[in-house]
């Protein structure tokens, strides 16, 4: 059998890399065509838009903005039209991006991705309006005041002013994008100190790469200032998220084994379409409930999400048979460092008709790892001591056709120490198998 080296979701398929590249190319191509069409449409009204923007940016009482190079102004005009087209094509691009990425994302990652795209588009609009209406006019007026103090007469290149404005507005949008990613990932419990290095590398790397691409080459001071400011703001917003402890959820608590190792055990309370009973997990175990996780692929993805986000290293299924899951799903759990075990409650529910919970409680109490064998023995002994049974059946598997009386109980694969305790209590032990 080939060892698995990655995580597979139920929505994953076995298509080749080339097929994914072809799909990606089709989606990007359709977006580019839409941007080109919108650019042509915006080109008819971009002159009027730029005229009003330059009126806002003009720092002089009398107009001091001029066009010194017609070819540079033409390129700036088309650049502005393209950016307007890109902004209004963004909703379509977001749908294409989400549709392409959705099969490979866990449920919490899908929600975070969708929330981030919608929030970022809204913030981009606010940032553009704020930059053009308030921030950039103030910035140019502040810079122009130095010319007035020195007695110089300002003459400003319209194309250069627009390009610098675009660079600053783009920098603001990039910083907002990075800050919102950190905030949403932190609130979604996707980001904590254990994986902060992975998030830092990608957030800072992508932000700075895009930032350096748009800053004009002749403005090294702006490049240095924006780099330090952008990185600092992201670190400030993510201060708590980058240093947070491992997320806690679903009642999971750290459990220590005999050697002092820390474990997180999650009880998967699956009703198995109504065939598996409800039972209380042991102290410290987390709990998630499903209707049929062994059959429902969407619920399986949710369980993978919980394991990945909250660091569960052992799953205890209530009634699901481990062999009923797809092999690649169990491999995905192993890839996340998570072992699996089943109490087989759905099968236990068929061996008696008196609605007793005794067999279920014994199955839960006999769990070991990270609990010691002695603690499991003590739990089972206490349950048997408080019961009114006189016979305990045992074996490696529940035999077919077994039917217990009210004074009988079943234990799967009891340890030697537990068998010794049961015999000391005066109970009869009977081995049963098919």
168 and 279 co-located in one domain: no
pLDDT of amino acid 3: 42
- Which one, of 155, 244, 146, lies nearest residue 195 by Cα? 244
Residues 343 and 363 occupy one common structural domain: no
Has residue 235 got a pLDDT over 90? yes
DSSP states of 229-261 as a string? Answer: HHHHHHHHHTHHHHTPPSP--TT---EE-TTS-
Residue range(s) defining the domain that contains residue 321: 249-349
Domain-terminating residue out of 326, 349, 372? 349
4 inside domain: no
| Neighbouring-strand partners of residue 412 | 395
In 3D space, the residue among 80, 82, 62 whose CA is nearest the CA of residue 72 turns out to be 80
The total of other beta-carbon atoms located within 10 Å of residue 226's CB is 23
Q: Give the rounded percent of residues in the chain with a pLDDT score beyond 90.
A: 37
Asked if pLDDT for residue 194 goes beyond 80, the answer is yes
- Evaluate whether residue 68 is within a structural domain: yes
Answer whether residue 10 is part of any domain.
Answer: no
Better pLDDT: 364 or 135? 364
Task: State phi, psi for 365 to the nearest 5 degrees.
Answer: -65, -25
SS (H, E, C) 313-376: CEEEECCCCHHHCCHHHHHHHHHCCCEEEECCHHHHCCCCCCCCCHHHHHHHHCCCCCCCHHHH
The angle formed by the CA atoms of residues 405, 408 and 414, to the nearest 5 degrees, is 145
**Residue whose C-alpha is closest to residue 392's, from 365, 426, 417:** 426
**Same domain (yes/no): 35, 177:** yes
* 30 and 147 together in one domain: yes
Cα distance from N-terminal residue to C-terminal residue, the chain? 31
Same domain, 36 and 160: yes
* pLDDT for the residue numbered 219: 67
For the stretch 292-308, pLDDT in tens is 998 888 999 999 999 99
Indicate whether 215 and 96 sit together in one domain: yes
Residues 166 and 210 in one domain: yes
Residue 227 sits in the same domain as residue 276: no
Instruction: Specify if 12 maps to a domain.
Output: no
- Please tell me whether residues 203 and 80 are part of one structural domain: yes
What's the average model confidence in pLDDT over 113-133? 90
Cα(427)–Cα(1) distance, integer angstroms: 45
The answer to whether 34 and 95 have CB atoms below 8 angstroms apart is no
Mean pLDDT, residues 14-27 taken together: 85
Range 67-87 burial, b when 16+ CB lie within 10 A, else e:
eeeeebbeebbebbbbbbbbb
Residues 47 and 148 placed together within one structural domain of the fold:
yes
Write down which residue in 212, 242, 272 finishes a domain: 242
State pLDDT tens for residues 24-59.
999 999 999 999 999 999 999 988 988 888 888 887
Domain count, the chain: 3
Q: Is residue 3 part of a domain?
A: no
| Residue where one domain finishes, among candidates 242, 261, 294 | 242
């Amino acid at each position: 059998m080939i060892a698995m080296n990655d995580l597979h979701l139920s929505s994953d398929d076995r298509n080749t890399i080339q097929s994914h590249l072809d799909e990606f190319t089709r989606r990007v191509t359709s977006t580019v065509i839409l941007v080109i069409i919108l650019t042509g449409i915006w080109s008819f009204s971009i002159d009027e838009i730029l005229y009003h923007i330059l009126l806002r940016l003009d720092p002089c009482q009398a107009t001091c903005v001029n066009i010194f190079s017609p070819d540079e102004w033409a390129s700036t005009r088309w650049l502005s039209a393209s950016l307007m087209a890109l902004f209004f094509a963004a909703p379509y691009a977001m749908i294409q991006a989400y549709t392409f990425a959705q099969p490979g994302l866990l449920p919490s990652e899908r929600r975070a991705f969708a929330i981030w795209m919608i929030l970022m588009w809204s913030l981009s609009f606010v940032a553009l309006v704020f930059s053009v209406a308030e921030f950039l006019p103030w910035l140019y007026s502040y810079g122009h005041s130095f010319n007035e103090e020195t007695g110089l007469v300002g003459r400003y290149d319209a194309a250069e002013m627009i390009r610098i404005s675009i660079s600053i507005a783009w920098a603001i949008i990039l910083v907002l994008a990075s800050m919102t990613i950190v905030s949403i990932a932190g609130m979604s419990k996707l980001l904590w100190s254990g994986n902060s290095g992975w998030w830092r590398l990608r957030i800072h790397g992508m932000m700075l790469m895009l930032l350096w691409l748009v800053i004009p080459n002749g403005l090294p001071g702006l490049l240095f200032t924006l780099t330090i400011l952008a990185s600092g703001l992201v670190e400030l917003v993510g201060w708590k998220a980058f240093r947070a402890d491992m997320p806690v959820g679903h009642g999971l608590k750290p459990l220590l084994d005999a050697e002092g190792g820390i474990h997180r055990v999650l009880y998967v309370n699956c009703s198995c379409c109504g065939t598996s009973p409800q039972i209380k997990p042991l102290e410290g175990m987390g709990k998630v409930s499903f209707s049929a996780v062994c059959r429902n692929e969407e619920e399986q993805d949710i369980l993978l999400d919980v394991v990945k986000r909250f660091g569960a290293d052992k799953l205890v299924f209530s009634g699901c048979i481990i062999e009923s899951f797809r092999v690649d799903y169990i491999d995905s759990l192993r890839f996340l460092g998570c072992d699996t075990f089943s109490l087989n409650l759905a099968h236990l529910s068929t061996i008696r008709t008196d609605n007793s919970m005794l067999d279920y409680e014994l199955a839960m109490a006999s769990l070991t790892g990270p609990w010691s064998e002695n603690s499991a023995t003590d739990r089972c002994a206490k349950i048997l001591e408080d019961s009114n049974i006189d016979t305990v059946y045992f074996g490696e598997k529940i035999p077919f056709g077994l039917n217990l009386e009210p004074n009988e109980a079943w234990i799967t694969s009891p340890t030697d120490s537990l068998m010794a305790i049961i015999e000391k209590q005066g109970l009869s032990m009977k081995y049963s198998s098919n």
